[in-house]
Amino acid sequence: MTITDEETTVARGEDAVVKPGERRPYLLVLSGTGIGRSLRIEKRSYTIGRAADADFRLDDEGISRHHAKVVVLAHDVVLLKDLGSTNGTFVNDQQIEAHPLAEGDRVQLGATITLKFGMEDDIEAAVRQQLFTAATRDPLTGAHNKRSFEEQMVRALAFSRRHKQPLSIVAFDVDHFKRVNDEHGHLAGDDVLRAVSALLQKEIRLEDSLARVGGEEFCVILPGIDLAHGVLAAERLRAALEAAVIQTVAGGIQVTMSLGVAEFDAMRHASLEGLVGDADGRLYEAKAAGRNRVMPNPPRRGVRSSSRTIPDGRALRGEITGSFRPDPPDGSES
């Protein structure tokens, strides 16, 4: 099981080494990439590094692909081993090759990542999870909040630069959202935002990330996606929302959204602000052109895509149209 950038992660399996109710070992990120993430140690071993197949992935320039390994020995001894990393593994400021961990130990990986080793029961783990969720998730919609979005974007940009992989983002907001609040009330407006978030979360890939960055404003991070496929993904989201009837305290409501798509260009975008600014600019173009549309425009009806496959493996169907859908996956006026 590969552990990604989500919250506290528990990996369970046939090799679990603890029983329910026991105090369980964990590693908590204190500094560097992914502050607040944690690894609850419930298997015999885990690898830590920036490789895609690492059990606990930390996408940081100072971390080796397979940097260190955690091994649970007899009598619940937790051993930390360096895997020949470039920048070393340290426990309490001492470089180690292999070292048994004790509660309270500080583990440093490379120059910037600091972890804390500790023990906790399920209640303590639940409280820590709630605190992490409060710090990274929007309480109304459950989407990532702006701070979490910016942290993820920094990592995504670094990965795109290092591996020369495409990266696109979609900026969008709900059209005429002020009118929804004025005509149906703020509780209905909240229902709309929750429903928009839930609907779009089902439409995006597991590796994509949805964030609420303002009142009715959202962004989606699309790693590994170029501009052409980013536009297609945005059009799929637009069409899905347009077709939906959202149930609210005021009854069924239909809303639309305007979307702007931008692809990261290392020559043009010196920072995430530049990339986000480009996506925002195209969002405003979509609104100026009449709303309920994607900018840049999706391919016209009858125009075939130059690529027949979206990077996540889903085949494009026939000719691209304004209502393209891929195979289903296995206070101002706005």
Q: Is the pLDDT of residue 325 over 70?
A: no
Q: Is the pLDDT of residue 311 over 50?
A: no
10-14, 44-48, 79-83: least confidently modelled range: 10-14
Residue 151 confidence (pLDDT): 86
State how far Cα 263 lies from the chain centre: 17
Share of the chain above pLDDT 90, in %: 60
**Starting at the edge strand that comes first in sequence, how are the strands of the sheet with 167-174 ordered?**
209-212, 217-223, 167-174, 257-263, 294-295
Confidence band, pLDDT 50/70/90 cuts, at residue 289: very high
* Tens of pLDDT, residues 217-275: 999 999 999 999 999 999 999 999 999 999 999 999 999 999 999 999 999 998 889 99
- CB-based burial of residue 104 (10 Å sphere; 0-12 exposed, 13-18 middle, 19+ buried)? exposed
Our CA angle for 134, 137, 143, nearest 5°, is 160
Q: Which one, of 234, 241, 149, lies nearest residue 195 by Cα?
A: 241
Confidence band, pLDDT 50/70/90 cuts, at residue 34: confident
Q: Between 154 and 176, where is the model more confident? A: 176
Q: Is the pLDDT of residue 301 over 70?
A: no
Confidence band, pLDDT 50/70/90 cuts, at residue 77: very high
Residue 21 confidence (pLDDT): 63
**Starting at the edge strand that comes first in sequence, how are the strands of the sheet with 68-72 ordered?**
56-57, 45-49, 68-72, 78-82, 98-100
Q: Is the pLDDT of residue 107 over 50?
A: yes
DSSP-assigned letters across all residues of 57-91:
E---TTS-TT-EEEEE-GGG-EEEEE-S-SS-EEE
First and final C-alpha spacing in the chain: 42
- Can you list the alpha helix ranges (DSSP code H) found in the chain? 122-136, 146-163, 177-184, 186-203, 227-243, 272-288
Distance CA 259, CA 216 (A): 12
| Parallel/antiparallel/unpaired status of strands 24-31 and 89-91 | unpaired
Q: Which one, of 260, 280, 284, 250, lies nearest residue 180 by Cα?
A: 250
Distance CA 69, CA 44 (A): 10
Distance CA 237, CA 242 (A): 9
Distance CA 310, CA 234 (A): 13
Residue 231 confidence (pLDDT): 97
CA distances for 67 relative to 70, 86, 134, 298, angstroms: 11, 8, 30, 43
Q: Is the pLDDT of residue 83 over 70?
A: yes
Q: Is the pLDDT of residue 67 over 70?
A: yes
Q: Phi then psi for 177, rounded to 5 degrees?
A: -70, -35
Mean confidence (pLDDT) of the chain: 83
